[in-house]
Amino acid sequence: MSPVSKFHSPVFPESLSNDDKSALLRIARRSLTEKILHGRRWDPQNIGGTLAARRGAFVTLELRGKLRGCVGLVESAHSVAATVARCAIAAALEDDRFSPVGPDEAPQLAIEISVLSVPKIIAVGEIEIGRHGLIIERGPFRGLLLPQVALERNWTPERFLADTCIKAGLSADAWKSSQARILGFSADVFSESDEPSEYVVGSSLSSAE
């Protein structure tokens, strides 16, 4: 099955092709299968082209239409292929909002991948719902939400900012502080199916739902 792209941004220096997306979905699936069903780590080999680029990525897992895990790296020192493999395992086993995924659940998981652009400072007036994800930082606090969160929940930019602050453990209006940094990023988001999903994320390694 060809991957279904829910969101796409032209911000990437080199866009992911459908073949790239299919390859990343296969990598995530195999990484999950090898670890959860066979107890061994698997790393993608002989990676080249776009998939060798260093990019941040999040992997979201759903089970019967409900969030089962979401973990990612905002920026990565590894290829996007290796990052996806790692984040798939982390989403299944290390998202502390959920118990670890069991062998009986693994084959039923639906996988969605978000490959990120490099985050940059963004003005409040520049935020576009459905295009931008947000990171808000103040002191030791940091919160991140993916672009699809605001779009699926029909949020305004102000609501998006407020919930990103809450994700960071800050007050909802902390984004108005001169000490807060607001960063925006875009994401190429694709999945194995076009089923709608519900989200929220942590951060590097982080979840984004």
Q: Are residues 106 and 132 in the same domain?
A: no
Count of domains forming the chain: 2
* Cα separation, 69 vs 54, whole angstroms: 23
Contacts of 46 (CB under 8 A, 6+ apart): none
Rounded average pLDDT per 10-residue block, the chain, 209 residues = 43 71 96 96 90 94 95 92 97 96 96 94 95 96 94 96 97 97 94 53 45
What letter does residue 201 receive in the DSSP assignment?
E
Task: State the pLDDT at residue 13.
Answer: 44
Q: Are residues 141 and 103 in the same domain?
A: no
Task: State the pLDDT at residue 30.
Answer: 97
* Separation in Å, CA 138 to CA 78, 131, 166, 172: 27, 23, 12, 13
Task: State the pLDDT at residue 208.
Answer: 57
Task: State the pLDDT at residue 15.
Answer: 76
Question: Is residue 148 a part of any domain in this protein?
Answer: yes
Task: State the pLDDT at residue 201.
Answer: 38
Question: Is residue 76 a part of any domain in this protein?
Answer: yes
Report the candidate in 85, 77, 98, 78 with the shortest Cα–Cα distance to residue 200: 98
Query: 91, 116, 141 — which closes off a domain?
Result: 116
What is the number of alpha carbons within 13 Å of residue 201 lying toward its C-beta? 31
Question: Is residue 195 a part of any domain in this protein?
Answer: no
Q: Are residues 91 and 125 in the same domain?
A: no
What is the number of alpha carbons within 13 Å of residue 152 lying toward its C-beta? 15
Question: Is residue 207 a part of any domain in this protein?
Answer: no
Task: State the pLDDT at residue 196.
Answer: 36
Q: Are residues 111 and 127 in the same domain?
A: no
Task: State the pLDDT at residue 198.
Answer: 37
Which residues span the domain enclosing 163?
Answer: 120-184
Per the structure block, which two tokens stand in for 73? 């790296």
DSSP code per residue over 92-154: HHT-TTSPPPPTTTGGG-EEEEEEEPPPEE--GGG--TTT-EEEEEETTEEEEE-HHHHHHTT
Using DSSP bridges, classify how beta strands 57-63 and 110-116 pair: parallel, antiparallel or unpaired. Answer: antiparallel
Question: Is residue 201 a part of any domain in this protein?
Answer: no
